[in-house]
């Protein structure tokens, strides 16, 4: 377990201890619980399902994520469960020719202070849950929230349980009840035109075939770039399986099945029949393939409620394509920033200000990352033709520039993405706030009593979405 929680008293000053209610037990919710509990706050987390689960198999943990875990004292716990791929290889979808290679070990840790790792999602979440429990976070399952009163900071579950707190954090993912409640309307995600297929093959089976063994030894990430499609493959040694994810276009926009469904293996093999023989060999080794649509939730810049006691984080607030492997990482950055900002609070009326500061900082960064991830996805998935040939030429020449098709060799992008320091961001933001320079905040000179007087009489009501 990481370091024990420290009193929420930076620099010897008296800071307050708040009660937080987190809705959603995925990576965003659990890491938010960890970040806040580490600074001495009381945290209760409500998960709708009867147990904590993470869909899928593998997840990549880039340096800006592993650095946060390192700061929390968790990297040494994560490392035995994960592996650090030595390189990322980009290949032609048809021939399998190597187009570009990025060295990850030791480059990532030497340049950005933390490694690029891969891990099974279940192992990642289990490790985080153990840390949260050790910090005293209340982890409650089977709590399906059906009503939120933003003014009283209370929620009710389907079985009529009531929970209240000083702050509510909505971290319930793409199909967010919290977001729908905040916006006051149903908000069902729709298919963005892509299907994702995922399967695993035992590592020992991959090693037993001469044409697939190179995909797992030495450890690496392999990406095939094809027309409107791409494939990512990497080994998960702790689980003894190789994780393969295939993305292809799908014209249906009304297909919003969120849970994985079994795919027809022969259909998948046919779809990728013109791809690299090595990939086709991997598909021949598949016993079961699951698929689901890549969803797009309604984009919104409304993350907070006027009551000043509620915030959306993670996929409930922002979503992005997977091409920069930043989806989960941005959720964890959300959590880390919440922890750092709420470590500084001295008055209850500052809760609203902290949420405003958090929203302003995070919306700017996640919007920029999401835009870049989408751009990279378009480049990776060029149809055969002049744009694809020019992309491949640039990759083969290996003369990286800003906007280079291989983002892991784009030094300007990586510096901006991976050298981001949450603690420094929070310090600079708080300094501006204390000077009265943060637009949209009430300020540091207002007392709790004056604040309550200012907001008294403002009409609020609960939103109940069935």
DSSP letter at 213 equals: G
Q: Looking at the predicted structure, is the pLDDT value of residue 9 above 70?
A: no
CA distances (Å), origin 189, targets 10, 147, 175, 258:
42, 20, 6, 9
pLDDT in tens, 92-105: 999 999 999 999 99
Give CA–CA dist 66/417, Å, rounded.
13
pLDDT in tens, 398-447: 999 988 999 999 999 999 999 999 999 999 999 999 999 999 998 665 55
Structure tokens at 276: 């690299």
Bond preceding residue 328 cis, omega within 30 of 0: no
pLDDT in tens, 294-349: 877 778 999 999 999 999 999 999 989 999 999 999 999 999 999 999 999 999 99
- Percent of the chain past pLDDT 70, that is, above it, reads 90
Q: Looking at the predicted structure, is the pLDDT value of residue 255 above 70?
A: no
pLDDT in tens, 161-191: 999 999 999 999 988 999 999 999 887 777 7
DSSP letter at 197 equals: E
Does 10-81+123-188+298-434 match 190-296 in CATH topology? no
Q: Looking at the predicted structure, is the pLDDT value of residue 12 above 60?
A: no
Beta bridge partners of 375: none
Reported confidence tier of residue 139, pLDDT bands at 50, 70, 90:
very high
Residue 413: predicted pLDDT: 96
Residue 455: predicted pLDDT: 47
DSSP letter at 272 equals: T
Q: Looking at the predicted structure, is the pLDDT value of residue 459 above 50?
A: no
Query: Among all chains, which residue has been given the structure tokens 């340096």?
Result: 63
**CB distance 433 to 441 below 8 Å:** yes
Beta bridge partners of 232: 223, 245
Q: How far apart are the first and last CA of the chain?
A: 39
pLDDT in tens, 65-95: 999 999 999 999 999 999 999 999 999 999 9
Give CA–CA dist 27/305, Å, rounded.
23
CA distances (Å), origin 191, targets 71, 249, 258:
37, 10, 9
The gap from C-alpha 132 to its chain's centroid, in whole angstroms, comes to 18
Reported confidence tier of residue 259, pLDDT bands at 50, 70, 90:
confident
Instruction: For domain 190-296, give the CATH number.
Output: 3.30.9.60
What are the residue ranges spanned by the domains of the chain? Answer: 10-81+123-188+298-434, 190-296
| Helix and strand element counts for the chain (H, E) | 15, 19
**CB distance 246 to 272 below 8 Å:** yes
Give CA–CA dist 72/261, Å, rounded.
36
Q: Looking at the predicted structure, is the pLDDT value of residue 154 above 50?
A: yes
Give CA–CA dist 334/27, Å, rounded.
11
Alpha helices in 265-408 (DSSP H): 265-271, 277-284, 327-342, 350-380, 386-397
Domain 10-81+123-188+298-434, CATH homologous superfamily name and number? FAD/NAD(P)-binding domain (3.50.50.60)
| Segment 278-290 mean pLDDT | 98
Beta bridge partners of 89: 101, 222
């Amino acid at each position: 377990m990481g370091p024990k929680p420290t009193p929420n008293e930076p620099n010897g000053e008296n800071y307050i201890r708040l009660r937080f209610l987190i809705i959603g037990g995925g990576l965003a919710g659990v890491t938010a619980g960890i970040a806040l509990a580490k600074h001495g706050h009381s945290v209760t987390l409500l998960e709708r399902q009867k147990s904590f689960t993470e869909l899928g198999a593998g997840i990549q943990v880039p340096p800006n994520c592993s650095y946060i875990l390192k700061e929390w004292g968790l990297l040494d716990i994560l490392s035995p469960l994960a592996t650090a791929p030595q390189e990322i290889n980009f290949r032609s979808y048809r021939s399998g020719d190597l187009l570009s290679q990025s060295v990850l070990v030791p480059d990532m840790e030497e340049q950005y202070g933390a490694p690029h790792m891969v891990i099974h999602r279940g192992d990642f979440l289990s490790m985080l849950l153990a840390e949260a429990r050790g910090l005293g976070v209340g982890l409650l399952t089977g709590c399906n929230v059906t009503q939120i009163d933003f003014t009283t900071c209370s929620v009710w579950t389907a079985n009529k349980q009531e929970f209240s707190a000083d702050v509510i954090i909505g971290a319930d993912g793409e199909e967010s009840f919290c977001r729908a409640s905040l916006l006051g309307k149903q908000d069902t995600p729709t298919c963005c035109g892509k299907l994702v297929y995922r399967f695993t093959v035992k590592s020992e089976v991959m090693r037993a075939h001469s044409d697939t063994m190179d995909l797992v030894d030495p450890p690496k990430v392999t990406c095939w770039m094809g027309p409107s499609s791409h494939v990512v493959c990497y080994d998960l040694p702790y689980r003894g399986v190789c994780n393969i994810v295939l993305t292809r276009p799908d014209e249906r926009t009304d297909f919003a099945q969120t849970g994985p469904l079994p795919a027809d293996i022969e259909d998948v093999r046919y779809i990728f029949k013109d791809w690299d023989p090595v990939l086709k060999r991997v598909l021949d080794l598949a016993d079961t393939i699951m698929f689901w649509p890549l969803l797009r939730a309604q984009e919104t810049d409304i993350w907070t409620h006027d009551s000043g006691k509620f915030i959306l984080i993670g996929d409930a607030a922002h979503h992005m394509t997977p091409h920069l492997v930043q989806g989960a990482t941005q959720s964890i950055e959300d959590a880390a920033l919440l922890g750092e900002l709420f470590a500084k609070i001295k008055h209850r009326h500052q809760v609203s200000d902290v949420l405003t500061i958090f929203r302003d900082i995070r919306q700017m960064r996640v919007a920029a990352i999401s835009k870049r991830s989408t751009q990279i996805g378009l480049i990776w998935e060029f149809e055969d033709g002049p744009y694809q040939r020019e992309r491949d030429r640039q990759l083969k020449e290996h003369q990286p520039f800003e906007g280079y098709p291989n983002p892991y060799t784009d030094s300007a992008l990586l510096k901006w993405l991976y050298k981001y320091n949450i603690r420094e961001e929070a310090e600079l933001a708080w300094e501006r706030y204390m000077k009265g320079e943060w637009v949209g905040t009430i300020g540091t000179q207002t007392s709790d009593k004056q604040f309550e007087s200012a907001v008294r009489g403002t009409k609020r009501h609960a939103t109940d979405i069935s």
